[in-house]
Structures are given as C-alpha cells and as structure tokens.
C-alpha cells in the first residue's frame, strides 16, 4: 500500500530524510557495485583548491557534474565519481606567508624552509570539510572518502612519470627549434624567462600580484647616444626610463617599416656638438626639437635597412664581439622615445629579441638588485639607488653620449608586499616543448565535443594555435618537486630525470628511504626539503648531482590527473583501472579553464598519448566538455565580499532545498553568464517542485480512497486523455534522453517544465472526475494506471536533475509496493521510450482542443459569464489543413467550458472572414523584386478567390498566376460578433440563457457553496452528508430541477427542505441575489 503524503511539504526537510536514506542504505556505494562489469562512463572531476570556501559558482558546477553520472548510471553504465583536491600551488604559499608574516624568500629562509613547508601542508585542507559539506548538501554523489590529492606520493610519481616521458623524448633533427638555440633537444629542457621580480624579497611575482602594485611615479629618463661603429660623429639615439638597464645593453632595435633619419646638428646644443649626426625615427624629430635645435636631414632610411649595423657600447667593459648590433622587429613603435629601443635582458620583448638575434645574455645587475663586479665603476651599487641614475647620466654627459634627459611620469609596478620597485628579471625554469606538438594538440582538439561549440575553434583553438613552450616549474617551496638532477660540476652537462621513487632508490647515492622518511607524518615524503638531500651520481662524470631546486607548476600537477588520480603507473593495479578509465567521456568546468585545466589536461595527455602509441582520437583525455560561465548577482555584477552581494549557498539549501537550487541552474544554458538571485531560485520551488508534489499528492489521495494498486497486466487504455499523456510522456523521454546525450541540459529542463504543465493543467485537471466518480469501472482503472505510470516515469526522468524529490516519489510509488524493484531511483533503469506510443495526430487534435478552450475562456471573460453558468453551444472554426476531427475530445471541451454542445463549422460560415496573406517563403524566389506587387494583389483577394485557392485551384489575377501555396489563409473574426480566436482556431459562444440554463447555473452555485462548507467542516472527500436547506421561489425551482445531480455532486444521501425555524444550524448564503439557508451534517458510517 502506498504511504500517505504530507500536504505541507518542506523540501529542506525532505533533503534530510532522503540523504539519510542514501547514507543508511549505502546507495552511492551500490551505484558502483551494482554496475560492476557494465560499460564504463568516465567522468573526471577537476580538483578545487581547499584553502578557500566554495561559492555559488561551484554549486552550478556541482549541479552539472552530478547530472550526467546519475543519468548514465540509470542508463546502465558504471560510473566512478572520484573527488579530487588541488593541494599545491601559490595560493597556499601566499596564505602561509601572510599568516606567518613572511614577506620574502629571504624571510622564508630565515624562518626555516622545513617549518615553512610544514605550515603550508597544514593549511592545505583548511576548508576541505566545508567543501565536502557543500557537495553533500546539493545532493551530489561523489566519492570523497577516496579522493585523489596532488600531494600524495602516488600522485607525485605520476608527475615524475610524465616528466620523464618528456625528458626522454627528443626533437627530430629537422625540427627548427633545435637549430635556434642549439640547446638540449629534449622535450623537457632548461631555459630562462622574464618574470616580474622583487629584488628585495628575492621573489618573482605572479601577474595577479603585479597588478596589485602599480603606482604612478616620476622617473628620470634619458636618451643616450650610441656611436655607430666605423663612422665618426654618427650616433643612434635611444631612450630609456630605466637608466640602470643601459649597463646591460646588448643591442638596439628599430621598426622595419619605420622611417629613420640621420640629422646633422648645425650648432652646439645641450645634446651634442655641431656637425654630429643623430639617427632617430622621423616621426620623433619634433619631440627632440630642443636638443637638436637647427639641423639638416642627411638621409632617410627604413628601419630594415639599418639592421645589422654595429655600434660601440657606452662603456668599454661592455665589449663583447657578439653584441651591439641593430636588429629590426615589428614590436618597435614610434609612440615615445626616439623610435629606437635599447635592449637589455630586463624585459620580455628584449629577452625574446636578444635570444632570436643570438646576442649574449648579459645581466650586469644581479638578482639582489646590485651591480655586478663586471659593471665597471658602478659595481656594488643598488639598481634603484637614486644617485645611480644621476651618476650614469653625468658619466654619459661628460663623454658627450647624452642627447637629453627629462622627468617622465608613468605607471610602474612595485612589490605589493615590501613596496620596492620591481624589475623584470630573467629567471631559470624548466620547459616542456608544447610548441613543437602544437599540431598534434590541434588534432586532439578536433575530436573533442565542446559545449558551447564556439570554444573549440574560438577561444580554445586560438589558444592552441598560439601555444608557446610551457614553463612547468616555479622557484617555490610547496609543490610537487621537479625530479631532475644536474651535475654539481658546472662544466659538466650531466643530468637525469627520475621517473619514480623506485628509480630514485636505484639511482641515489644515499639511502632514499631513510632520507625521505618524514617523522612528522610518519611516512616517506617526496616534498622539499627532504628530496633536496638526495644526490645521484652523474652519468657523464660520476660526480654527485643535486636536484634542480624547482617545484612544479600546480597547473601541470592538476593537468595530469588522468593518470595522477590512479597513481599511474607506479601504484600497483593502476594500469588496469587506468585502461578502463581513459579517456573521460565528460568533464565540466568554468570557462577560465581554457587556459587552465582544459589546456593542461590536453597538453599532458597529448604527450602521453603520442608516446604510448594511442590513436589520435584518444590524445585528448576528454571527449565532451561543458564550459560554464560565471554566476553573477541579479544586477549582473560579480559577487564579491566588498560589494556585499555574495549569496551564501547555505541560504539556498536551508530555504529551498537541494532540488530547487539545482533546478535553478538547469533552466538556462550554463555557458551564458547567469544572473542569480534568491527570488529567481524560489521560482523553481513554485514552478516545478510544488506542482510535482501536488500532482503526486493528488494521486495518492485518490488511490487511498479507492485502494487502487497497479497490476502487472494493464491493458492499454483507449481513452484519448490517457493515450495523449502517455504519448507526451514518451516524447519527453525521447527529448530528455537526446538532449542529455548531447550534453545540452537546458532544453531537457524546458521539456520537463512543459510536460509538467500538460500533466497538471490538462491531464489531471480534465481527469479529476474520472478519479472521484463513484463507479469503479475500467475507465477509472485506466485513469489510475495512466497517472501512475506518468508519475513513476516522470520521477525516473527527473532523477538526475532532482535526485531528492524523485527518490521520495519513487520510494512510495514503486518500492512501497514492490520490494523487488531497485532499491533507489538512482539504481533504477532509465525508461526506454516506445516511440509508437506517440500519436502525432492525437497530439495535434489535443492541441486544438486546448486552443478552443482558451478561446472559449477568453469569450466568457470578455462577456463576464462565469464558467459555472452552463451555455447552450459553442461553434468552432478550425483552419484548413489542421485536423478537423475533435472526436473523442468533444467531451473534454464541453466539460471544461461548461457548454452543452459543440459544432465544428465549415470554413465558409458567416462567422468568419477569410483573408489572404502572402506566403513570402514561396513568393520570394518566384517574384524576386516584384514580390511586393504580388503581395498587394494577394492581400486584396476576395473571398471567392481565396476559396478557389483553398480548394487547390490556381488562379490568375492581373496577369499573375497564384498557386495555392502562395497564400496563407487567415480566418479572422469580425469585430462585432462574440467570437474569439487563438492561433488560428476561432470560436463563437452562444451566450443566450434559457430558464433551464439559468436553473442549472444556480444549482451549480449551490453545489459550490456546499463544497466550501464541506471543506470548512474538514470533511474527507469521500464523506457522505445530509443536506438541509431553505429557500423559495425561482431558486427553489432550480434546486428541485437538479436535485439528483446536486446529491451526487455533494455526496448527499438525503436533501431536506426545511423551515428556517426548524434548524438553527442553517447558514445564510446568497445565489444570484436570492437568499438561501443551508446546513450539512456528516453521515457517520458504521
């Protein structure tokens, strides 16, 4: 027997109940166990960092990430849903630095590397429980007991495995990169890159940190004169805002297409002596007017013609036979300075050009910000020492190498921690040659299904096209260690990349297990600082090698979770599970991951795939991906603490519950920016949850009255409502299934909303009488069986979306009467749509019936005739081409509109005016420019002509032949008749009231009053009553004429007309202005 249903449902309480049920019965575990041996559906969960709290955007993520695993489990797949946590990376170190009040790497050194790293480790899981709670609260099934964590030894060894793969792989000799720098052809190689760097803190900064610290400052800028080699009195003029970088100048850059002039000074000026010739961009002449004064242009040349010219360095100690030449590059502009740029190894573009041009890598200011001994008279000076600029300036001036100086205001980055001026410094790092397998990554991308589609060729494709080699290391402390050892002898090139702990054991000089044993955590620990104490004999010279002091980019770390989560390949058993769990069918993250996780997964898995001989379509470790957008507040602003517009997810759960919160994310495309508000989320309760609950509760109420139970061999009903709703259910099943298979959630949700409307506002509404009528006939059985199936299947289809309410309904509708059924809706089979249950013809007839009803209601409203007042007849005109047969649906319409008769009129009734409208779709191609002339003719066609066309005859009008398909016939109602039209369906209601109709209407009013009294008396729907009333005259006549009907409607066993004095319980009411006195009394059944 079905359990009774709480009318006053509180969804957050239902959440508790169902989640408790899941826990106690280990439903999640069973989704794993019961699908063992089934085909795998592979889902990868991206690892969030847990030193921050989850926000509403993560709820969107969770809602989506939970949907497909549930769906696929029901579809018969085995789905592993392993949680993951990102436990490395800069955010953790920044938190630690802040809390320990450490401002620099030097501070960290003096605090103690080991203590610092211990502290980092201790903060990693600070909000892990908060995360776990939020994930559970939204009803997500996720294995958080066995998560993958990037800090484990198994995971780190996966890092090592992949790095070793890259290290072993070499460029082919014909690949150009090998020629450029003559460096290691390995796919893992050491190089430099320019990073924002604080010399005082000894730390490079992330872009984000740099952005924190820009300030407007006034600096002394100067324009130096570089003497052209072999030409007396000819100089290049180059401008700089950082005089100290001149100490490391190695080249000058010009724009290839920029016009440069050599101007000869006519007199001595502050910038030079008469006769000297200065080279600068023509466009910049004007701004040097003061220094140049009177001059003459000697020649004009394009920048590219200056390329290769040699010049003398500003100081003797800078001499280097490979340096001090001019090169041309597009990046040079004439926006400021002289249009000639001095290059030193303290800028990103500089670095690129210096490298491309094969210039020496000179840095005369060291990483502490002091001039090196090689910097002549400036050795030992601090780079931002104010006098340094002035001394350089004076020195140049004294040797007539200064064209000009001025104060210049610009914005310059400062260290956000210590306020010192930053410099851009070349830092070492280890790189993976991603650029050399760009084409392979593009091929891999071609096999990925992106939602939304434009990401594939757009944002992500563009990013791949522009891939440069990937710096996978950071000069930090807390992270996966780079497993690369290089020879202590600087002359020796020996290096070794270690691919696993076992390999390290075999290779190391020391006893690895002893050195790496971390007392505090009681196990081997591969992190710094222990790993730094391991040495390996050099394969080249046999001397000891020391580990390169880097940790891995945490993006690299996270990017190889496809092997890392199993600890592949070093963990026993990982190969077997990896083979089954690669590649992922589905991942889902926010759009910022195109440069993050989406990219790093692809970059690592493509390398992995190529090296392991996987086919091209498996180079990407994910096949389908949904990119979600941001969740904003209802003003379209980013939620942030400072604006105070953050919606705490727990508020949603406490007020609305998990299902409603989830649903509010499913109803719009997740790849569009979502404006989110609590009010909007509340709509999910009102629009979906309550109507579902009401429908379910309605069913249970009547099932209890009739003690109905489903039987195994239901004969299919031929009632049109039943056949129709089953067809719509099947259609829903088909549409939801295909949408979800395409990873397109919103249309699936919309289809559910539409079905719910059809179920509640039409099927149940129109079937109510079938449930409450007293005969227990086949029709009633059919109604029960149909509604039962609709609710049951609907709950199955909703299960991936709203796991709670669907579980509750399933438990009652299925499990409470069939203990052999799957224990949970989430272990049940997804219903298979039987497509021949969709009767398209019936569906379109039903559609017309609903339109007729709408038009009829419209008329009643316009003429203020209540639905309780029966009317004689309704006339309906249905457009040509539509189904004219409403047989079987006639009763529905009559009942809904409370009319006695319905007649379908042929199209030529006087009710209707025929109008022809041009069908541009066919006319356009036929008439082209003359389409408007033809359209005019069509609009002025008379009814006869239209009828001819309607009857499929072509006609000629004004020499133009019109075909039937050229017009669209519009049946409009003339303004002055009581007629209404809804989407082509026109109806007329007969509003004339006969005495009989009036009597009927009044007795319906009486029934209405009695029903209200039943409700007020708290009677059960099946309780019988005795009815007493008093009235006279017209109203009494009406009651007498409908007595039997009134009795059956109100379940009155007897009706007594009484005098007012006879019964004190009589309650005074009014019907149509007549007084009536009524009392009811419940009949006690024995």
Partner RNA sequence: GGGCCUAUAGCUCAGCUGGUUAGAGCGCACGCCUGAUAAGCGUGAGGUCAGAAGUUCAAAUCUUCUUAGGCCCA
Which of positions 861-890 make contact with RNA (CB under 7 A)?
861, 864, 866-868
- Separation of alpha carbons 861 and 525, rounded Å: 79
Please give the residues from 98 up to 137 whose contact with RNA meets the rule CB under 7 A. Answer: none
Q: Among 130, 152, 153, 669, which residue interacts with RNA (rule: CB under 7 A)?
A: 669
Q: Among 510, 757, 776, 840, which residue interacts with RNA (rule: CB under 7 A)?
A: 757
Sign of the C-alpha dihedral, residues 476, 480, 485, 488? Answer: positive
DSSP 3-state assignment of 536?
strand
Considering only 114-122, 458-466, 521-529, 608-616, which stretch makes contact with RNA by CB under 7 A?
458-466
| Chain centre distance of CA 829 | 28
Is 47 noted as a catalytic residue in this protein? yes
Is 86 noted as a catalytic residue in this protein? yes
What is the nearest approach in angstroms of RNA to the Cβ of residue 812?
A: 16
Nearest to 224 by CA among 312, 320, 299: 312
Strand partners, 371: 365
The answer to whether residue 407 forms part of the interface with RNA (CB under 7 A) is no
Considering only 301-309, 441-449, 459-467, 642-650, which stretch makes contact with RNA by CB under 7 A?
459-467
| Chain centre distance of CA 449 | 14
Q: Among 761, 778, 913, 940, which residue interacts with RNA (rule: CB under 7 A)?
A: 761
State which residue, 379 or 883, has the beta carbon closest to RNA: 883
The answer to whether residue 960 forms part of the interface with RNA (CB under 7 A) is no
- Separation of alpha carbons 446 and 252, rounded Å: 43
22, 45, 47, 758: which is the annotated catalytic residue?
Answer: 47
DSSP 3-state assignment of 234?
strand
The answer to whether residue 270 forms part of the interface with RNA (CB under 7 A) is no
- Separation of alpha carbons 279 and 10, rounded Å: 81
State which residue, 126 or 854, has the beta carbon closest to RNA: 854
264, 276, 451, 593: which is the annotated catalytic residue?
Answer: 593
Please give the residues from 152 up to 181 whose contact with RNA meets the rule CB under 7 A. Answer: none
What is the 3-class SS of 125-194, one letter each residue?
CCCHHHHHHHHHHCCCCCEEEEEEECCCHHHHHHHHHHHHHHHHCECCCCCHHHHHHCCCCECEEEEEEE
- Separation of alpha carbons 590 and 603, rounded Å: 18
Tell me the CB-side half-sphere exposure of residue 112, using CA atoms within 13 A: 4
The answer to whether residue 643 forms part of the interface with RNA (CB under 7 A) is no
Joined tokens for residue 291? 């220094």
Considering only 16-24, 114-122, 146-154, 760-768, which stretch makes contact with RNA by CB under 7 A?
760-768
State which residue, 543 or 686, has the beta carbon closest to RNA: 686
State which residue, 287 or 471, has the beta carbon closest to RNA: 471
- Separation of alpha carbons 1037 and 1032, rounded Å: 8
Joined tokens for residue 566? 């199993």
The answer to whether residue 683 forms part of the interface with RNA (CB under 7 A) is yes
The answer to whether residue 680 forms part of the interface with RNA (CB under 7 A) is yes
Q: Among 173, 644, 928, 1033, which residue interacts with RNA (rule: CB under 7 A)?
A: 928
The answer to whether residue 701 forms part of the interface with RNA (CB under 7 A) is yes
Q: What count of other Cβ atoms lies within 10 Å of the Cβ of residue 832?
A: 10
What is the 3-class SS of 712-751, one letter each residue?
CCCCCCCCHHHHHHHHHHHHHHHHHHHHHHCCCHHHHHHH
101, 641, 819, 929: which is the annotated catalytic residue?
Answer: 641
How far are the Cα atoms of 79, 84, 333 from residue 47, in angstroms, in the given order?
18, 5, 44
- Separation of alpha carbons 231 and 310, rounded Å: 10
Q: Among 430, 478, 698, 830, which residue interacts with RNA (rule: CB under 7 A)?
A: 698
Q: Among 94, 285, 673, 957, which residue interacts with RNA (rule: CB under 7 A)?
A: 673
15, 86, 585, 966: which is the annotated catalytic residue?
Answer: 86
What is the nearest approach in angstroms of RNA to the Cβ of residue 770?
A: 11
State which residue, 438 or 857, has the beta carbon closest to RNA: 857
- Separation of alpha carbons 540 and 1038, rounded Å: 114
The answer to whether residue 738 forms part of the interface with RNA (CB under 7 A) is no
- Separation of alpha carbons 1000 and 600, rounded Å: 76
638, 900, 1047, 1082: which is the annotated catalytic residue?
Answer: 638
Q: Among 610, 905, 963, 968, which residue interacts with RNA (rule: CB under 7 A)?
A: 968
Is 363 noted as a catalytic residue in this protein? no
Q: Among 917, 1056, 1057, 1060, which residue interacts with RNA (rule: CB under 7 A)?
A: 917
Joined tokens for residue 605? 């898995």
Q: Where are the beta strands (DSSP E) in 616-699?
A: 624-628, 631-632, 674-675
The answer to whether residue 4 forms part of the interface with RNA (CB under 7 A) is no
Nearest to 85 by CA among 130, 55, 116: 130
State the distance between the two ends of the chain, measured CA to CA, in whole angstroms.
Answer: 24
The answer to whether residue 367 forms part of the interface with RNA (CB under 7 A) is no
What is the nearest approach in angstroms of RNA to the Cβ of residue 193?
A: 10
Write each residue from 553 to 592 as x if it is in contact with RNA (CB under 7 A), else as -, in one continuous string: --------------------------------------xx
Q: Among 39, 52, 458, 573, which residue interacts with RNA (rule: CB under 7 A)?
A: 458
Q: Using an 8 Å Cβ cutoff, are 863 and 988 in contact? A: no
Long-range contacts of 23-30 (CB under 8 A, 24+ apart): 25/823, 25/824, 27/823, 27/824, 27/826, 27/827, 28/141, 28/143, 30/823, 30/824, 30/827
What is the nearest approach in angstroms of RNA to the Cβ of residue 75?
A: 25
Q: Among 126, 193, 459, 719, which residue interacts with RNA (rule: CB under 7 A)?
A: 459
**Could you tell me the maximum CA-CA distance found in the chain, to the nearest angstrom?**
134
Is 638 noted as a catalytic residue in this protein? yes
The answer to whether residue 929 forms part of the interface with RNA (CB under 7 A) is yes
- Separation of alpha carbons 1069 and 1079, rounded Å: 10
What is the nearest approach in angstroms of RNA to the Cβ of residue 389?
A: 26
DSSP 3-state assignment of 950?
helix
Is 710 noted as a catalytic residue in this protein? no
Long-range contacts of 575-581 (CB under 8 A, 24+ apart): 580/40, 580/42, 581/40, 581/42, 581/80
Considering only 103-111, 357-365, 482-490, 914-922, which stretch makes contact with RNA by CB under 7 A?
914-922
State which residue, 374 or 645, has the beta carbon closest to RNA: 645
State which residue, 21 or 750, has the beta carbon closest to RNA: 750
The residues near 523 (Cβ < 8 Å, ≥ 6 apart) are 153, 517
The answer to whether residue 668 forms part of the interface with RNA (CB under 7 A) is yes
State which residue, 300 or 940, has the beta carbon closest to RNA: 940
Please give the residues from 1051 up to 1080 whose contact with RNA meets the rule CB under 7 A. Answer: 1051
Considering only 225-233, 263-271, 387-395, 682-690, which stretch makes contact with RNA by CB under 7 A?
682-690
What is the nearest approach in angstroms of RNA to the Cβ of residue 1051?
A: 5
Q: Among 738, 1011, 1041, 1063, which residue interacts with RNA (rule: CB under 7 A)?
A: 1011
Considering only 246-254, 777-785, 1010-1018, 1068-1076, which stretch makes contact with RNA by CB under 7 A?
1010-1018
The 8-class DSSP code of residue 86 comes to B
Considering only 148-156, 525-533, 825-833, 1048-1056, which stretch makes contact with RNA by CB under 7 A?
1048-1056
Q: Among 768, 863, 1060, 1070, which residue interacts with RNA (rule: CB under 7 A)?
A: 768
Write each residue from 196 to 225 as x if it is in contact with RNA (CB under 7 A), else as -, in one continuous string: -----------x------------------
The answer to whether residue 978 forms part of the interface with RNA (CB under 7 A) is no
State which residue, 715 or 932, has the beta carbon closest to RNA: 932
The answer to whether residue 937 forms part of the interface with RNA (CB under 7 A) is no
State which residue, 226 or 663, has the beta carbon closest to RNA: 663
- Active-site positions read 47, 86, 555, 593, 597, 638, 641
């Amino acid at each position: 027997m079905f359990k009774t249903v709480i009318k006053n449902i509180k969804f957050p309480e239902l959440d508790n109940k169902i989640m408790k049920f899941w826990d106690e019965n280990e439903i999640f575990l069973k989704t794993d166990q019961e699908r063992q041996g089934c085909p795998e559906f592979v889902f990868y969960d991206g690892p969030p960092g847990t030193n921050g709290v989850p926000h509403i955007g993560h709820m969107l993520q969770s809602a989506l990430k939970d949907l497909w695993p549930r769906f696929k489990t029901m579809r018969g797949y085995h789905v592993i849903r392993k949680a993951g946590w990102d436990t490395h990376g800069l955010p953790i170190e920044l938190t630690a630095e802040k809390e320990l009040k450490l401002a620099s790497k030097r501070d960290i050194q003096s605090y103690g590397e080991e203590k610092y790293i211990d502290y980092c480790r201790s903060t990693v899981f600070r909000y892990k429980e908060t995360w776990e709670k939020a994930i559970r609260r939204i009803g997500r099934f996720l294995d958080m007991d066995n998560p993958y964590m990037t800090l484990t030894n198994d995971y780190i060894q996966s890092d090592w495995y992949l790095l070793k793969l890259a290290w072993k792989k070499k460029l082919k000799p014909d690949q150009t990169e090998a020629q450029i720098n003559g460096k290691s052809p390995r796919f893992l190689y050491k190089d430099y890159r320019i990073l924002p760097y604080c010399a005082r803190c000894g730390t490079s900064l992330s872009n984000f940190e740099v952005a924190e610290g820009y300030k407007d400052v006034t600096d002394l800028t100067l324009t130096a004169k570089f003497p052209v080699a072999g030409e007396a009195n000819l100089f290049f003029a180059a401008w700089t805002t950082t005089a100290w970088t001149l100490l490391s100048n190695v080249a000058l850059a010009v724009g290839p297409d920029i016009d440069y002039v050599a101007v000869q000074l006519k007199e001595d000026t502050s910038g030079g002596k008469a006769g000297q010739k200065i080279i600068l961009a023509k466009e910049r002449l004007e701004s040097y007017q003061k220094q140049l004064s009177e001059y003459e242009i000697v020649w004009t040349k394009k920048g590219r013609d200056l390329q290769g010219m040699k010049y003398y360095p500003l100081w003797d100690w800078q001499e280097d036979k490979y340096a001090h030449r001019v090169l041309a590059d597009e990046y040079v502009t004439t926006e400021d300075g002289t249009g000639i740029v001095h290059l030193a190894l303290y800028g990103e573009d500089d670095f690129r050009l210096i490298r491309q041009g094969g210039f020496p890598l000179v840095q005369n200011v060291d990483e502490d910000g002091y001039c090196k001994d090689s910097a002549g008279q400036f050795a030992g000076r601090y780079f931002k020492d104010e006098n340094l600029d002035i001394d350089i300036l004076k020195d140049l001036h004294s040797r007539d190498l200064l064209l000009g100086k001025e104060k210049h205001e610009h914005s310059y980055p400062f260290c956000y921690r210590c306020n010192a001026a930053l410099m851009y410094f070349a830092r070492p790092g280890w790189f993976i040659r991603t650029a050399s397998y760009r084409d392979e990554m593009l091929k891999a991308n071609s096999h990925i299904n992106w939602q939304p589609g434009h990401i594939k060729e757009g944002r992500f494709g563009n990013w791949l096209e522009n891939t440069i080699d990937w710096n996978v290391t950071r000069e930090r402390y807390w992270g996966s260690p780079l497993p690369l050892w290089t020879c202590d002898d600087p002359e020796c090139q020996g290096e070794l990349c270690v691919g696993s702990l076992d390999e390290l054991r075999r290779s190391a000089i020391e006893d690895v297990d002893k050195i790496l044993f971390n007392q505090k955590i009681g196990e081997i620990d591969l992190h710094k600082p222990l790993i730094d104490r391991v040495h390996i004999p050099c394969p080249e010279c046999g001397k000891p090698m020391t580990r390169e002091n880097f940790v891995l980019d945490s993006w690299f770390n996270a990017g190889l979770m496809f092997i890392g989560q199993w600890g592949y390949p070093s963990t026993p058993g990982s190969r077997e599970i990896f083979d089954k769990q690669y590649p992922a069918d589905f991942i889902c993250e926010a759009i910022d991951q195109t440069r993050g996780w989406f990219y790093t997964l692809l970059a690592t898995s493509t390398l992995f795939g190529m090296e392991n001989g996987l086919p091209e379509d498996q180079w990407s470790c994910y096949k389908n991906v949904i990119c979600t957008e941001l969740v904003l507040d209802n003003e379209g602003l980013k939620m942030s603490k400072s604006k105070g517009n953050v919606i705490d997810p727990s508020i949603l759960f406490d007020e609305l519950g998990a299902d409603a919160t989830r649903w509010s994310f499913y109803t719009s495309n997740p790849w569009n920016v979502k404006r989110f508000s609590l009010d909007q989320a509340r709509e999910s309760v009102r629009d979906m949850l309550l109507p579902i609950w009401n429908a379910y509760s309605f069913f249970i109420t009547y099932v209890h009255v009739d003690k109905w139970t489903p039987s195994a061999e239901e004969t299919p009903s031929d009632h049109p409502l039943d056949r129709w709703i089953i067809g719509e259910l099947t259609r829903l099943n088909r549409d939801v299934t295909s949408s979800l298979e395409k990873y397109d959630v919103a249309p699936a949700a919309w289809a559910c909303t539409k079905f719910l409307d059809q179920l509640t506002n039409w099927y149940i509404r129109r079937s109510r009488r079938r449930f409450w009528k007293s005969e227990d006939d086949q029709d009633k059985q059919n109604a029960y069986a149909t509604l039962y199936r609709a609710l049951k299947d609907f709950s199955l289809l909703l299960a991936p979306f709203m796991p709670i309410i669907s579980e509750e309904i399933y438990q009652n509708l299925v499990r409470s009467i069939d203990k052999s059924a799957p224990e949970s809706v989430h272990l049940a089979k997804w219903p298979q749509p039987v497509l021949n249950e969709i009767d398209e013809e019936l569906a379109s007839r039903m559609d017309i019936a609903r339109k007729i009803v709408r038009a009829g209601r419209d008329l009643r409203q316009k003429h203020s005739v209540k639905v309780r007042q029966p009317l004689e007849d309704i006339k309906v005109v249905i457009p040509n081409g539509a189904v004219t047969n409403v047989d079987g649906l006639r009763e529905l319409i009559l009942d809904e509109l409370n009319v006695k008769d319905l007649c379908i009129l042929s199209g030529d009734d006087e009710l209707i005016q025929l109008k022809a409208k041009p069908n541009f779709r066919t006319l356009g191609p036929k008439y082209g420019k003359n389409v408007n002339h033809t359209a005019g003719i069509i609009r002025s066609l008379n009814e006869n002509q239209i009828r001819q066309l309607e009857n499929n005859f072509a006609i000629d009008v004004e020499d133009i032949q019109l075909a039937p398909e050229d017009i669209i016939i519009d049946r409009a109602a003339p303004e002055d008749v009581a007629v209404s039209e809804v989407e082509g369906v026109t109806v007329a209601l007969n509003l004339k009231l006969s005495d009989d109709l009036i009597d009927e209407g009044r007795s319906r009013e009486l029934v209405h009053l009695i029903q209200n009294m039943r409700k007020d008396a708290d009677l059960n729907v099946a309780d019988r009553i005795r009815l007493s009333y008093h009235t006279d005259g017209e109203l009494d006549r009406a009651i007498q004429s409908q007595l039997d009907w009134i009795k059956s409607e109100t379940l009155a066993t007897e009706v007594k007309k009484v005098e007012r004095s006879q019964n004190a319980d009589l309650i005074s009411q009014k019907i149509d202005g007549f007084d009536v006195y009524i009392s009811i009394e419940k009949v006690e059944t024995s």
